[in-house]
Structure 1
Amino acid sequence: MHNQAVIRHIVGWLKDYTGKARAKGFIVGVSGGIDSAVVSALAARTGLPVLLLEMPIRQQPDQVSRAQAHIADLQQRFTNVSGMSVDLTPTFDTFAAGVEVDEHAFPNKQLALANARSRLRMLTLYYYGQLHGLLVTGTGNKIEDFGVGFFTKYGDGGVDISPIADLTKTQVYELAKELEIIESIQQAAPTDGLWDTERTDEEQMGASYPELEWAMSVYETHQPEDFSGREREVLEIYTRLHRAMQHKIQPIPVCKIPETLLG
């Protein structure tokens, strides 16, 4: 990949789209992870106003420290970048207490609460984005957004623009080096930060990003039965996740009423 050319292309695309949308700049939720770090660094290079918003919810200390260090680093390097931290833990705790249910009766309760965290952050991003005339800028990559659906519908999937959604995770890491993202973020294991305990993306999905990228490359032409061992297992994982995520990317089904019933 021609990293510098890709960077220039994305930065130009961001500037062009912002002009057409008549927006002032960008707001990015910064998590301490590689994707949000790369997106915010790209947005910073447009020269337009960029607001980096950290939104901890019962966050692991290492995630908080990485996010804060990244914000400080970009603010030092770019005068158009500003940062904010909004502690959403009290708000989330109030919500969680208000919707408390028996976990034995609802075994998917913790997943529902994890998705609620993401949707609360989306709400916060749009609130501050509207206040400042900024576009909510997505941080999803190609594998997450179009491969396995590793995002929350109307959570981190609720954005105005997606600058890195055509890049694999491996390619995002390549850009991170080129953009001189702080080393602690480049070395950190990917995690969505939606759980009280540390859960890496690989632990949740059952495969690493390079494995899923391989699966995505062969999905259209091969079946799991074409492979053996770990390759077969990974393609089975990818196939299951890809089929389950279609409701996240397909248009919302609309019930069409026959004209004969409307007349």
Structure 2
Amino acid sequence: MPKKSTIQVEKVNEHIVSWLKTYANNVKVNGFVVGISGGVDSAVTSTLCAQTGLTTLCIEMPIHQAQNQVSRGREHIEQLMKRFPNVSRAEADLTPIYESFKTEMPVGESDTKYHLSLANTRARLRMTTLYYFAGIHGLLVAGTGNKVEDFGVGFYTKYGDGGVDLSPIADLMKSDVYALGSYLKIPNSIQNAAPTDGLFGDNRTDEDQLGASYDELEWAMLEDEKGSKSEDFTGREKEAYDIYKRLNFLNQHKMNPIPVCEVPNALK
């Protein structure tokens, strides 16, 4: 189970809901669109959006999705629609589009980079879909990334699930998201499920991909913020810390602004 969070869940919930509503009203949009994955991050994000009273459109976007992920997502959406009249749903089966895309691309069945590129393609197809729905309904795309993913290890796809209009939970650690999920009565099937991005069409979890659990990465992120060094630790702590530092370094290109070549005025 996730480590215990210390946030004041009721006040944090109220703060984020108020922030979402204020932002949407200031930019004069009708509400939010959220991609539902069957995981706790998207469940919490969509519930926060629903509490604003503004239109909250939950989108399912299966691409060869595991049935347990689909069923968890649908359970959450059905529960949310019963609780909030401003919540609606839509489904876009992207499997045929994904398969069509693959037929036009070079193949490399045994190549790890090939499989990773296809996984990222799934995320980018979903981003395109969310912005399509956002455009026709006058909505903002709400991101579902937490702090460890977005600013710790960069565990997201650039211009995929990283392509959003605003990020309601990106200042919350994974343990904080679970605490909010419990407070918001997210279905137990979601709270108890092993986190997965579902981009590879198999049963691999986030921990399988990252090499460390969210508890370990959260600990490492906090230690790094305190100025700790790899040599301060031994055993599994050192392993987890080194995993965090390696991923944080490798994924800076996602977390930093896009480099711009500034041309000197003398050359203009």
Work out whether the TM-score is over 0.5.
yes
Which runs of 5 or more residues in structure 2 are unaligned?
1-6
Size of the alignment, in residue pairs? Answer: 261
Q: Is residue 252 of structure 2 the alignment partner of residue 260 of structure 1?
A: no
Secondary structure of 1:32's match? coil
The CA deviation at 1:30 is 0.3
Secondary structure of the residue aligned to 1:66 is: helix
SS at match of 1:160: coil
Q: What is the match of residue 216 of structure 1?
A: 221
Between the aligned partners of 2:180 and 2:108, the Cα distance in structure 1 is: 45
Corresponding residue of 1:205? 210
Tell me what 1:96 maps to: 102
**TM-score, structure 2 as length reference:** 0.96
Question: Which of 242, 248, 253 is 1:242 aligned to?
Answer: 248
Give the drift of 1:42. Answer: 0.7
Q: Residue deviations 1:89-145, cap 9 Å, x none?
A: 0000000111032345x5400000000000000000000001000000000000000
The 1-side partners of 2:143 and 2:264 are apart by 38
> Are 2:77 and 1:71 equivalent residues in the alignment?
yes
Letter in 1 for 2:262: K
Query: Do structure 1's residue 231 and structure 2's residue 237 form an aligned pair?
Result: yes
Counterpart AA for 1:214: W
- In the alignment, the residues of structure 2 paired with residue 218 and residue 102 of structure 1 have an alpha-carbon distance, to the nearest angstrom, of 40
Superposed CA offset, 1:196-241 (max 9, x none)? 2111001100101111011001114111111100000000000000
Shift of 1:260: 2.4
Unaligned runs of 5+ in 1: none
CA shift digits 1:55-99 (9 cap, x unpaired): 000000000001111111101111000011110000000001110
RMSD value, Cα: 0.9
Q: Name the CA distance, whole Å, in 2 between partners of 1:42 and 1:196.
A: 28
Counterpart check, 1:194 vs 2:199 = yes
Distance in structure 2 (CA, Å) of the matches to 1:179 and 1:107: 39
Q: Distance in 2 between matches of 1:57 and 1:112?
A: 15
Corresponding residue for residue 144 of structure 2: 139
Q: Runs of 4 or more off by more than 3 Å in structure 1?
A: none
2:181 maps to which residue?
Answer: 176
